Amino acid sequence: MTSPPAPPRVRSRHATASSPRDPAAAGESPAARRRRNWVTIILFLLPAIVLFGLLVLAPIALAMYSSFFKWNGFGLVPTNFIGFENFTRMLNDKIVIGDLWRGLSLIGFSLLIQLPLSLAIALLLNQKMRGRAVYRLIFFAPYVLSEVITAVLFTMILSPGRGLANELLGLIGISESTFLSEPDTVMYALFIVMTWKYFGFHMILYLAGRQSIPNELIEAAQIDGAGAWKTFRHVTLPLLGPTIRITIFLSVIYTVQLFDLVYVLTGGGPVHASETLGVTMYEFGFRRFQVGYASAISVVMFLLSLIFALGYQRFVMRRDTEGAITNMRAAR
Amino acid sequence: MSFSRRGVLSVAAAALFLAGCGSSGSETPQGGGGSGAAQEKVTIEWWHIQNIEPMKPVWDQLAKDYMAAHPNVTINITALENEAFKAKMTTVAQSGESPDIYQTWGGGVLKQQADAGIAKDITADVASWIDTITPAASAAYKLDGKVYGIPYDIGMVGFWYNKALFAKAGIEGTPATWGEFIDDVKKLKAAGITPLSLAGKAKWPGHYYWAYLAMRIGGLPALKEASVSKSFENPDFIAAGQKLKELSDLQPFQKGFLGAPYDTPEGQAATMGNAKAAMELMGQWAPNVQRDTSKDLGDDLGFFPFPSVEGGKGAGTDAFGGGGGFAVGGDAPPEAVDFLKFITSADSVRKTVGTGVILPVVKGVEDAVTDPRGKMVADSLAQATDFQLYLDQAYPPAVGAQVNDSVAELIAGTKSPEEVVKAITEVAQSE
Amino acid sequence: MSMHARDKPAVQVAKPIALHTVTIVIGAFVLIPILYGVLGGFKTNQQLSTNPIGLPDPWVPSNYTDVLASGSFWLQLWNSVFIAVATTVITVGVAALAAFVFARFAFRGRELVFTIFASGLMFPFAVAILPLFILLRFFGLLNNPLGVILPQAAFGLALTIIILRQFFRSIPGEIEEAAILDGCTPFGFFWRILLPMARPALATVSVLAMVSSWNNFMLPLVVFNDPGLWTLPVGVQQFQGQFSADTARILAYVVLAMVPALAFYSIAERQLIGGLTAGATKG
């Protein structure tokens, strides 16, 4: 649709300025120029296509292919074709089904607590106050730490004996707890660590979104007599819509892929109570040598991301595209 | 494993340079080396799991001694923690490149490594000296009549108990039957003492309970038979699960045991060492890990074999456990086997056994065991009528992992005894 | 009127105080875990169990100095830096060429190819890790820095291309026309004019590529078996296993491993945050 109208061959002999894009075609024929364009296009795209094709598309294709086989991962390609058996096995696998539920509950937590909290903090930091830049710097800092380092640190903090969390709770009279060791509490502990690490990231996005809203709009609402809540509800919130939709999108995709943090913090335990699809996939693929089944799990992860992304783009974010781009221009 | 680091970096740098120029970024230099280089110089990559005192320095010293005697050989040691090693080894197995010498427990896991070509058949290389090793110790590393590993330690799993806490609860002697054992657990509970310490996060310690109960109730042949027929749906194994459930229903384990690791300061060994629990079911290394993570209980620490089960088919003297051994990597130099011969020589074994945490695998060195705890295990082992290797090593990795996993769920109360055998059977049949 | 006059100063004082209180509480939530790590590293294990929250008494620097004196920490740091820089150079180099074509050339199928690249945003590492491992094994790239660098670069392409294309498009066509009239080849224009102009955008995408490489765990975990190749995240995780009984030393290691990331963040804050907001708003 966006390819240029190819100049008709007849005109090509005496074309001096065939299109605004080709101002310098003077000395040579457009055919030669087009050929050179193609050479340039191909040469410039080739590295990206090779890299992307070989290391992104091919692995995903290979995962899809091996998900139809029973395979222990040795050798280059699987041979024992079993159709959809890996997928039907998943339907009966309590752990995989549990992974999905846990993913959903993490998404629920994020949407109901983490994102509103980040938004509130962003609006707070949008106020004129001393040390705002320092606060922003601090709040965002956990985001730059790797998940592994975060997880190791919190393993210590949440450990029952000498951990920080128990000591602090002890100060307010709550007796020793084993956050990461109880199936009932482990998800809350995990969620708190996730919030520690990621609220700053969402906050930064909201701040950027808020700063692209002209202050005049909000002042106008206030002059019209709207209270703080009304201004927020009817002016700020709708104008932050695109940013909020993006953060929701990122939260969901992140949760589907969640691995590092959980793997190091809990290993998915106790007894699978904090396991995610990523951890289950790793367990089967790299520890139990059931690569076919593990591939099927990764295909499900991929399909979940893809379906969600396409559906979300199609139905939720569609109207934002224009806004997002102007936003970006404004940010520059 | 034995490639030069600098070589790789310069290859990488070259590829980087090319990519930076905008030419194809798909230059893929083959492999990372392996290139044998000069014949005399040999490097041996050695991965072991004795990452703590007192064994770590002994291995270091033995490697130094060997290098001194063989100047052309360089031994690179990587001492990994148990869990880290197991996690790492699975990717190593799939990568097809193994260390030249690495920790193994024998059994089905070693078999799969052999099938994948990362463990070498060393039958011929060791034929001249394998007879110096006690057959009981080397059995786990012989698969289909071929030798794939050499042991350095042998022992068994049993109950380590705190004599002071037993006395406090008014328990005299040690339980010989499961019924007595349950009574003692109740007495300990009544005295406000946590009866058992367990590492629920690590999972493998939990499987010891189920395995021992299955051995005592169904008999050792039943476990061997199950792995061949790939069916664990044996009423005796379900009964084993029921006994274990009966135990866990008493809530005998320490608070938060489901998430407890084995060898950290909050783990199973430390709970035992800090006298916060009266017993742990663990192998011969238990006292050493207690000392490393917490305190040495000294004379308060006792050992008794797993009790027999009334009416069970298995003898109360059948032992469960294993030791440790070293496998030789698929493309290891001959010097690797020679080094194993060196560390299995009587002189070397005296040094390892001298630490008090290793039991001898070589004939004629029994007198070197001077540590009282080592003696307790050695004596029990000497009376053993039959021997079963850890189930999570004896069976193929997927089956072993499922045993650990299902038993953990049984103890946590999320799986029934019937579901345990069903899950294990399903995995065994899918292998 | 008079009521108002009396009220106002009170509100003006109360509001900032409330504001600061809330932000300080949040700041404490963020900082206390890090502080616990820093202080914990200065304690002995004995102190840690008897006095987990107080100041170290006495201060024990040996945990930190031991880690700093060990070769493995520096080796892992170097590996992380090398891999991050190499990944960044490849990602940005390859993506810039592609983005240039996507931004300034019109050709049949352009949008389709672009969409395929852009959809790479949705392909998580975790999904591809198994087959990637098998492919890398096939290419002999296991235990080789390239086995981490190239896949990271490939997975970084999507975001980088999207951001760079956006920027390249915003450069007026007249500049290109003038350059070509001056006899510049497309590559000459790209190399000598476009790239220098795109410096801020390049800085942004470089920082993003750097950070994601720096934090990557799963890929180096499975690709590198040789401890000599481990990056910091893998090193930290292995160190935790290795010295599982030595909490204070693990804390020291964790804190030291944080330092480079935090230092980098304080220098490149603007590019990082700019890049994230730009990346996210385009999503």
DSSP letter for each residue of B294-309: S---GGGEEEEPPPB-
Tell if the CB–CB gap between A51 and C150 is shorter than 8 Å: yes
Q: Which of B122, B110, B54 is nearest to B353 (CA)?
A: B54
Q: Nearest by CB to A269, which of B87, B259, B398?
A: B259
pLDDT of C14 > 80? The answer is no
For A293, the enclosing helix (H) or strand (E) is helix A291-312
Q: C81 in contact with A at a CB cutoff of 8 Å?
A: no
Q: Which of B89, B94, B406, B411 to mutate to test the interface with A (most CBs of A within 10 A)?
A: B94
Contact A110, A249 (CB under 8 A): no
Q: Of chain A residues 57-96, which have a CB less than 8 A from chain C?
A: 57-63, 66, 73, 76
- As a whole number of angstroms, the distance between CA A162 and CA B266 comes to 8
Answer yes or no: do B331 and B225 share one domain.
Answer: no
CB-based contact A48 C134, cutoff 8 Å: no
Please tell me the total count of domains within chain B.
3
In chain C, residues with a C-beta closer than 8 Å to the C-beta of A302 are: 123-124, 127
Residue from the list A181, A283, A289 with its beta carbon closest to the beta carbon of B259: A181
Evaluate whether C160 touches C205 at the Cβ level (below 8 Å).
Answer: yes
CA-based nearest distance A39→chain C, Å: 11
* A:C CB pairs within 8 Å: 301
Cβ–Cβ gap B200/A290 under 8 Å? no
Q: What is the mean pLDDT of residues C225-247?
A: 86
Determine what percent of chain B is predicted with pLDDT higher than 90. 50
Q: What is the mean pLDDT of residues C253-270?
A: 90
Cβ-nearest to C93 among B22, B81, B267: B22
Question: Hey, is the C-beta of B260 within 8 angstroms of any chain C C-beta?
Answer: no
Is C180 near chain A, with CB under 8 Å? yes
Judged by CB atoms closer than 8 Å, whether chains meet at B259 and A182 is answered as yes
Tell the burial category of C191 from Cβ atoms under 10 Å away from its Cβ (0-12, 13-18, 19+). Answer: middle
- Angle at which helix B204-218 crosses helix B220-229, to 10 degrees, equals 110
What subunits make at least 3 CB pairs under 8 angstroms with B? A, C
Report d(CA B28, CA C139) in Å as an integer: 7
Per-residue model confidence as pLDDT tens digits over C166-225: 888 888 888 888 888 888 888 888 888 888 888 888 988 898 899 889 989 989 988 888
Query: How far is A269 from chain B, CA to nearest CA, in Å?
Result: 7
Chain A residue with CA closest to C20: the answer is A129
Say what the pLDDT of residue A167 is: 76
Query: Is A52 near chain C, with CB under 8 Å?
Result: yes
**C167 phi, psi to nearest 5 deg:** -70, -45
> Could you tell me if A14 lies within 8 Å of chain C, comparing CB atoms?
no
Q: What is the torsional sign of CA B291, B294, B298, B302?
A: negative
**Torsion over CA: B284, B290, B296, B299 (sign):** negative
| Chain-chain contact of C242 with B3 (C-beta, under 8 angstroms) | no
The encoded tokens of residue B120 equal: 């070498």
- The CA distance from A160 to A177, in Å, is 6
CA distance B347 to chain A (A): 37
| Percent of chain C's residues with pLDDT above 70 | 93
Exposure b/e, B233-242, CB count within 10 A at least 16 = b: ebebbbbbbb
Contact B44, B77 (CB under 8 A): no
Residue contact B94–A46, C-beta within 8 A: no
CB-based contact, A146 to chain C, within 8 Å? yes
Q: Examine the domain organization and report whether B178 and B278 are in the same domain.
A: yes
The answer to whether residue B32 neighbours chain C at the CB level (below 8 Å) is yes
C194 close contact with B: CB closer than 8 A: no
CB contact (8 A) between residue C244 and residue B261: yes
Residues B201 and B294 in one domain: yes
Question: Cα distance from A296 to chain C (closest Cα, Å)?
Answer: 10
DSSP state of A18: -
Which structural domain range is residue B275 located in? 158-321+390-430
Report the DSSP pairing between strands B42-48 and B73-79.
Answer: parallel
Question: How far is residue B198 from each of residues A137, B202, B203, B241, measured CA to CA in Å?
Answer: 43, 9, 9, 17
pLDDT at B28 over 80: no
Nearest-5° angle of CA A52, CA A55, CA A61? 100
Residue A316 has, within 13 A of its CA and on its CB side, a CA count of: 15
- Report chain A residues whose CB lies below 8 A from the CB of C157: 48, 51-52, 56
CB contact under 8 A, C237 and A148: yes
Length in residues, chain A: 332
Domain layout of chain A by residue ranges: 21-66, 86-331
| pLDDT of res. B29 | 38
Q: How far is CA C210 from CA B182, C130, C229, C247, in A?
A: 58, 23, 18, 30
* Residue B181 clears pLDDT 80, i.e. is over it: yes
Choose the mutation target among A49, A152, A158 for the interface with C, i.e. most C CBs under 10 Å.
Answer: A152
Supply the mean pLDDT for chain C. Answer: 85
Residue A34 is predicted with a pLDDT of 67
Nearest chain C alpha carbon to A292: C130
Are residues B25 and C86, on separate chains, in Cβ contact within 8 Å? Answer: no
The complex scores an ipTM of 0.85
Higher pLDDT, B305 or A36: B305
How many residues are recorded in chain C? 283
- Chain A, 197 to 226: residues with Cβ < 8 Å from chain C are 200-201, 204-205, 208-209
CB contact under 8 A, B20 and C93: yes
- Confidence category of residue C280, pLDDT binned at 50, 70, 90: low
Run of H or E including A45: helix A30-52
- DSSP letter for each residue of C88-155: HHHHHHHHHHHHHHHHH---TTHHHHHHHHHHGGG--HHHHHHHHHHHHHHHT-TTSTHHHHHHHHHH
Q: Which of B414, B424, B427 to mutate to test the interface with A (most CBs of A within 10 A)?
A: B414
Residue C90 in contact with partner chain B when CB distance is under 8 A:
yes
Q: How far is CA B20 from CA A37, A43, C95, C97, in A?
A: 22, 14, 11, 11
Side chain identity at residue C91, one-letter code: T
Which of C108, C130, C187 has the CB atom closest to A294's CB atom? C130
Question: Do residue B27 and residue B44 come from a single domain?
Answer: no
Count of Cβ atoms closer than 10 Å to residue A108 Cβ? 12
Please give the pLDDT value at position C281: 53
C157 touches chain A (CB under 8 A): yes
B281 pLDDT higher than 90:
yes
Alpha-carbon distance of C259 to C272, in angstroms, equals 17
* CATH at residue B108: 3.40.190.10
Question: What residues of chain A lie within 8 A of the CB of B23, using their CB?
Answer: 47
- The single-letter code of the amino acid at B271 is T
pLDDT at position B184: 95
Q: Is the pLDDT reported for residue B33 higher than 60?
A: no
Q: Provide block-wise average pLDDT over 10 residues at a time, chain A (332 residues).
A: 36 38 50 74 93 91 90 79 91 92 95 94 87 89 91 88 75 73 89 94 89 84 82 87 88 89 89 93 86 91 88 75 39 34
Strand partners, B119: B329
C241/B129: higher pLDDT:
B129
Element (H, E) at A245: helix A241-257
Looking at the structure, tell me whether residues B316 and B330 fall in a common domain. Answer: no
C234 close contact with B: CB closer than 8 A: no
Say which residues have a Cβ less than 8 Å from residue B204's Cβ, sequence separation at least 6: B390, B392, B404
Number of residues written out for chain B: 431
Which residues of chain C neighbour A28 with C-beta distances below 8 Å? none
Task: Please give the pLDDT value at position A246.
Answer: 85
CB contact, 8 Å: B7 with chain C?
A: no
Query: B366 — contact with chain A (CB < 8 Å)?
Result: no
Strand B42-48 to B101-104 pairing: parallel
Residue with tokens 């007026």: C172
d(CA B177, CA A82): 48
In contact, C194 and C100? CB cutoff 8 Å: yes
Q: Does B293 touch chain C (CB under 8 A)?
A: yes
- Say yes or no: B285 and B349 in one domain: no
Of C93, C135, C278, the CB nearest to A331: C278
C82 — contact with chain B (CB < 8 Å)? yes
**What pTM, to 2 d.p., does this model score?**
0.83
B95 has a chain A CB within 8 A of its CB = no
Distances (CA, A) of B358 to B153, B154, B348, B362: 6, 7, 12, 12
Residues of chain A neighbouring C188 (CB-CB closer than 8 A): none
> Residue C251: CB partners within 8 Å, gap ≥ 6?
A153, A156, C36, C37, C40, C41, C63
Of the partner residues A20, A48, A60, the one whose CB lies closest to the CB of residue C128: A60
Average pLDDT, chain B: 86
Q: What is the pLDDT of residues B369-421, one digit of tens each?
A: 888 888 888 888 888 888 899 998 899 888 999 999 999 999 999 999 999 99
Instruction: Say how far residue C80 (Cα) sits from the centre of its chain.
Output: 11
Q: Give me the residues paired with residue B103 across strands.
A: B326
Chain-chain contact of A288 with B401 (C-beta, under 8 angstroms): yes
CB contact under 8 A, C269 and A137: yes
Token pair 């630490």 is at which residue?
B355
Task: Outline where DSSP puts E strands in B238-375.
Answer: 279-282, 301-304, 319-321, 324-328
Rounded Cα gap, residues A310 and B206, in angstroms: 45
pLDDT score for A243: 87
Interface residue A247 vs chain C (CB under 8 A): yes
Q: Which fold has domain C71-282?
A: MetI-like fold (1.10.3720)
The CATH fold of domain A86-331: MetI-like fold (1.10.3720)
